[in-house]
Structures are given as C-alpha cells and as structure tokens.
Structure 1
Amino acid sequence: MRTIGRGATQQSSAPYNRRVVLDFIRQQGAASRKDIADMVSLSPQTVANITNDLESIGLIVSRRQKVDKTRGQPPIAFELNPEGGHAIGVSLEPGRVSAARVNLVGDVLERSEIELDTSHRQNLLAAMLAQVLQLRKGTRERLWGIGVALPGPLGATDISFLGPTAMEGWADLSLLDELRDAARLPLFYSVDSVAGALGETLFGVAQSLDNFFYLHLGLGLGGALVVNRNAYRGTNGNATEIGHVPVVPGGLPCYCGNSGCLERYVSMHALAEALGLSDPQLRSPQLLARLADPADAVVEAWCQQAGERLRDAICMIENMLDPRAIVIGGGAPKVLVERLLAAAQPLRRSVRGGVGDPDLRLLLSERQGDSSILGAAVLPIYEMLSPRLETVQQDRRPDADVAELLGHRSGGRWGG
C-alpha cells in the first residue's frame, strides 16, 4: 500500500510541502494540480504556487494530458524533468570500483568501471576521483552530488573484519572526505544494502511499498529494512546485517569470526568457492553461460544447497519483521537469482505466507546488476526528493535555488 504524504499548513512547512508535491508527482509518474490537491490535502492555490516554483527551476515539466474529446483544453499534468538534476553513484567492492551518472528519474546515462587493489587508499582515491571527473565532464545539468555505496558493516565493530567480501581499512572513512573535497561536490554514503533499498523505493519494484525487506545479493550478502519508505539503520548504522547471522551450527568459518554464517552459503563469493574461481572471474561471460545451463551439475548442486539456506532466511525475515514484501537485488546475475528462488520453493510457513498478495511476497529487482550503482547515485537524489528526510551532511549545496526552495538542511554525515 502506497503512502501519500500530506501537506502541512504552517508557513514554516513550505519546503516540506514542496517535497510532498514533488514526491507525489514522482510516485504517480504524472499528476494534475487537481490530483495533487485532492491527495496531499493542500489548497488549489498552494498547489499552483508550488508547481509554478518547481517548474521555474526545472525540477518538473508540464504536459497536456491526452483525454477523450471534450469541450475546453485538456488538463495539464506535471512530470519529473529527467534533466532536472544528475547524480554520480560510486559502488565500491573488494577489487573493483564502478561509477555512473544517473538522472532524476533513475536512468543510467554513463558508466565507468576500474579493477584495482581497493586496500591501497591513495590509489583508490585517485581512481574514484578520475571516474567522477570523467562522468561530470561536459555535463550541463546541475549535479546534486556523489553517492558512495560500500559493503558493511561500517565503523569499529566486533565484526569489522578482513575478508573477500569486506573493504579492508574502512573503519576510517576519511577517504570519503578527501573525495568530497577534491571533487568539490556534496557527498553522501551508505552501506550497499541501504543504498539499494532506497534505489528500489525511488525507481524500482518497491515504489508502491511503504515497508519491505531488501536482500542485497552480491559478492557478500546484506539486507535493509524499509519502514515508512525510510531505511532503518539501527544504533550504529549497521542494522539487518543478515549475512552474518549464523544458520549452520558448526558450519563454515566466516571472516567475521563466527561460523556457519548465511553469507558463507548464499553469496557470489560462496559460488566462486564452489566453482574453484577467483572473485574477478565471477564477471566472465563463461560463468554467465554456465549459470544459464541447467545441465551444469556443479552449478545446480550449489544452487540447491544455497536455495535451502535462502528458504530459511526468507522464513526468518518474515517471522521477525513481517514485511509486505522481500525485494531481492544486488550485483548477482538475474539468471542466478531466478535459479536460487526456484530452488527455495516451496517456501516455509511463516506469518507472511497466506496472508497477503502472494505475488508481492518475493520481488526480483528489475535493475539486477545495476542495483549497487543506482543505489549509490540515489543517495543525493533521495536527499533532495524525500519529504521524510533525515538530516544529512551537505557541505556545498547542489544548487542554491533548489536548496532554498526545498529547504535543504545541513547536519551530520549520513552513513550506514
């Protein structure tokens, strides 16, 4: 069920009202002033003023709606202007940095990918900066900032570890400050699972969902709980680190220091181990061919055991959190996710099973493969569009008129 934001009447709430209107237009795809006034509880004059303001700075565009022939002019509908703002997303994984420029409606316009030793901080900084400068080169549209998505957990925790699915040395996040200062753009960061969840909220299969659980299947395994269209981050920003929940007593040793963790059985790295491949080989065309071949016995055996663990994880998520849906995204190839979901059938009984729409129970991201990059780029866009925004860091406002109109705030860094 989709929640429509409601406008507020206080004069001080004008920026919030603009965000509510902008978010409503985004959710609907196109909306007339009457649609907006009816659904967000603002007066027609207030809606007219807001849409005029938003159109004047290029965040929305107006078009005549196509209707059956009637007397008079057809009503005007407003849509987000795809070129109203761009953002650059940077996705960090062990051994690889991917980046892309994304517009206001989630289209990936340009991308870049570099393989390097991500434990070498200065080389990594140079690579990220080179990608950002290349992607912004020749771009005339306003750039709202850089979003960076990286594997969790973040900060100094008992499971801030070294291993093939984690970023070495990322208890210290000062490298992101250096990137922000060198690029002279606002920078926002988050763990990849939260970024992916926000991407699905704005531009993906979860646009109509108020609450869901996002399962991020990539080199490792992560998760994010979305409640009222905001990601729950926990006390230290590391909530729902589902990949490090032990599920097999006395199972495989995990890099976090425990054993039998879910990530050791359901992740791209676990697949690489089973196939005797290095992690970089997971992106080869040869592997994609194997994943699509039902006669490959080794791949099939791995999918069957991973599917059993995924079945357990789905039951655990549903019984603990009762989400409206579980959305599966991340960098894993779509063909692999589809095989895992098939192997996980039939699903276990849970508080979710048999209650709601069965077609909503499990949803596969339509941006599989682009989830991490899109999720990263969404961070600055989400900051500007969301009417339920938490305070975030903003050292340089993306555009003075946009920032003033939408009541952009400064505060502590948004992480985790």
Structure 2
Amino acid sequence: MQLDQQTLIAVVVDLSGQVRSRVELAVQRPTPELALPLIAAAVERLRLESALNWNRLLGMGLVMPGPFGVEGMTSVGPTTLPGWEGMDGEALSRALGLPVLLEKDATAAAIGERLYGMASQLQNFVYLFIGAGLGAGLFLDGRLYAGGRHNAGEIGHMIVAPGGRQCECGNRGCLERYVSLQALYEALDLAGSERATPEHLARLAVQPEGEAWLDSAAAPLRQAVNILECLLDIEAVVIGGLLPPAWMAELVRRLHPLPVSTRHRDGERLRLGSAGRDVVALGAAALTIFDEFNPQYEVLLKTAGAERNRPRPTILDIRQRRA
C-alpha cells in the first residue's frame, strides 16, 4: 500500500505477483489519525473484491515518503507526511490487526521496477523517485540496500548548491529544493493550491515558468547522477515517479550529455522506468512476499524471472515445507 501527500493506492497480489484487486483513494497530507481508518477500509475492500482466501494473507507493506526517525527531517515540510514521527511497523500492526512492514516509497519503487519494469535484468542500479520530494532506492550486486534505519537513498537532502535555497530540514541547497514536484509547483505558482497535482501538470504545456524549472533542475540532478555513478559504479540510474511523462522526458533530455564518470557510455546510463503508475504499491506488496520467503530480499529477486511461468506454491505449501 502506498500512502503519499495526495493518494492512497492499495493492491493485493498473489504469490505469482499478479494483482488481484486495486483500490485508490484521494487524501490530503493525512496524519495517522486520518489515514488509519482509510487504510483499514481499503484493506476490507480488497478482501471483498479479491476473491482470495484472506486467512492466508501474509501481511501488508505500507510505504510512504521518508526519511524515518530523523530529527528535523521526518514529518517536516511539505514533502513529508505530518504526525508519523513515532509510528513504526509494530505500532501499525497493532492498530490495523495484521502484520505490517513499513518502508520508504523510493525503496518500494525500486523493488517494483526490479520485479515489473525494465530493471529486471540490472544487478546494480539506483532508482530516482521524483515525488513531492526526491528519494532513491538502491540495488547493489542484485541486493536491495535499505540502510541501517531504512533511510538509504535520501538524496533529496544531498546538498548540491551550498548556500542555495532554504530547505525545511534547516540546510540550504538540498537537491529536492530543485528537483521535486514541490519545486515545480513553486515555480508554477501552484504550491498550496488545489491545482498542485500531477494530474493538473499532465494537462499543462511546458510554459516559460516550466522551462525555467527544467533548467534549474537539470544541473543539480546531473551532478547527483555523476556522484551516484562515481560512488557506486552502477549500471544505470533509472528515473521514475509522479512527474508526468512529458515533463519527465523533457527533464531527462536536458540531462544529456552526462558528465564523464565511471560509466563511459552515455546512452544507457540514464533510463526511464517502465513499471507504471503503481510501481510503488507493487513494490510495497512484494515486501511481505520477500519476508515470507527469506528476510534477504535478493532470494526472490534472483529467481523471479525463472519462476514467472511456473505454478506458484501457496502459503500453506511454504509453511508445510518448513515443518
């Protein structure tokens, strides 16, 4: 289940990764008090519509903007959700009455792209998720890297312009102050209005203010791509998220030519994600499947391609084998 500033998207998938039901609700920067009843209602709707044996439910992956547990960053500013500072998976499990795994949206997006998109053959990549803010999910040597507190990839607070724009975290020049939906809304004078939505952006032609934002975003994002390549020696940087396709394509176009780095060929270094609008929710649903098979996510990832056309075991089969 994906929860962000404006949308709740929930999917239920079977062990083959097939989506059996989907729910989407509009929200507005929901606090836990507002979100938990909506989440419970969405789960009940999925139960009724999916035609699955709900007694075999493994649990739920809930993903939202990070970072988690960082003073001065968690639940601070318009790119995060308010009131979630003390909430963790155990608290959510108690509140909802089912096992819950909590993860960052950018990390879940990387999982979704790895399982359902063009990154299925990549062993080393970074997924840049452009949402209200900016985050990244990391796959290194075929393994998801989430970090000690599941905050790996919080590149939105990487300083790319010392002394630059003020950020809600207290620093100046953070990357997401230039590359994010929030930065684009501000450039178009939409911040805080009802029109500050990806759907409204999709209907807009790139006007002069938008051109100015694209120019202001391209240089720091190009710098971030260079840093990621030099630091991690990855095969590609994959870009996706909530930015409408026309805007995303124009932003990527302006990133070329990329600076020289450990990746010498320019053509395949930067790629657009292909898993679609539900990439985050799909990654969230996969969290519980990963956890059931093995706490190390890469076990499922390495076999996903080979197993895609084989009959899938049921949860009961898995538990009987363990016994």
- 1:307, 1:342 within 8 Å by CA — same for their partners in 2? no
Change over 3 Å in CA distance of 1:387–1:207 after alignment to 2: farther
In 2: Cα distance, 1:313 partner to 1:172 partner? 31
Could you tell me which amino acid in structure 2 is paired with residue 361 of structure 1?
A: R
Structure ranking higher on relative contact order (CA contacts 8 Å, 6+ apart): 2
* Equivalence for 1:205: 118
Question: Aligned-pair distance for 1:171?
Answer: 2.4
In 2: Cα distance, 1:314 partner to 1:148 partner? 28
Change over 3 Å in CA distance of 1:138–1:346 after alignment to 2: closer
> Which secondary structure does the structure 1 equivalent of 2:129 belong to?
strand
Change over 3 Å in CA distance of 1:235–1:275 after alignment to 2: same
Question: Aligned-pair distance for 1:226?
Answer: 0.9
In 2: Cα distance, 1:92 partner to 1:285 partner? 17
Structure 2 unmatched ranges of 5 or more = 300-313
Deviates more, 1:240-249 or 1:230-239: 230-239
In 2: Cα distance, 1:311 partner to 1:196 partner? 21
Change over 3 Å in CA distance of 1:331–1:373 after alignment to 2: farther
* Equivalence for 1:32: none
In 1: Cα distance, 2:217 partner to 2:76 partner? 23
Change over 3 Å in CA distance of 1:106–1:283 after alignment to 2: farther
| 1:192 is the counterpart of 2:105 | yes
Change over 3 Å in CA distance of 1:185–1:298 after alignment to 2: same
Structure 1 unmatched ranges of 5 or more = 1-89, 392-397, 409-416
Question: Aligned-pair distance for 1:170?
Answer: 2.2
| 1:264 is the counterpart of 2:177 | yes
Question: Aligned-pair distance for 1:184?
Answer: 4.0
TM-score of the aligned structures, taking structure 2 as reference length: 0.84
In 2: Cα distance, 1:187 partner to 1:108 partner? 19
* Equivalence for 1:159: 73
Could you tell me which amino acid in structure 2 is paired with residue 332 of structure 1?
A: L
Change over 3 Å in CA distance of 1:132–1:225 after alignment to 2: same
* Equivalence for 1:111: 23
TM-score of the aligned structures, taking structure 1 as reference length: 0.67
| 1:345 is the counterpart of 2:277 | no
* Equivalence for 1:401: 317
- 1:114, 1:127 within 8 Å by CA — same for their partners in 2? no
- 2:198, 2:244 within 8 Å by CA — same for their partners in 1? no
Question: Aligned-pair distance for 1:252?
Answer: 0.7
- 1:209, 1:229 within 8 Å by CA — same for their partners in 2? yes
Match of 1:313 among 224, 228, 251: 224
Could you tell me which amino acid in structure 2 is paired with residue 146 of structure 1?
A: M
In 2: Cα distance, 1:165 partner to 1:117 partner? 9
Could you tell me which amino acid in structure 1 is paired with residue 223 of structure 2?
A: D
Pick the structure with greater CA Rg: 1
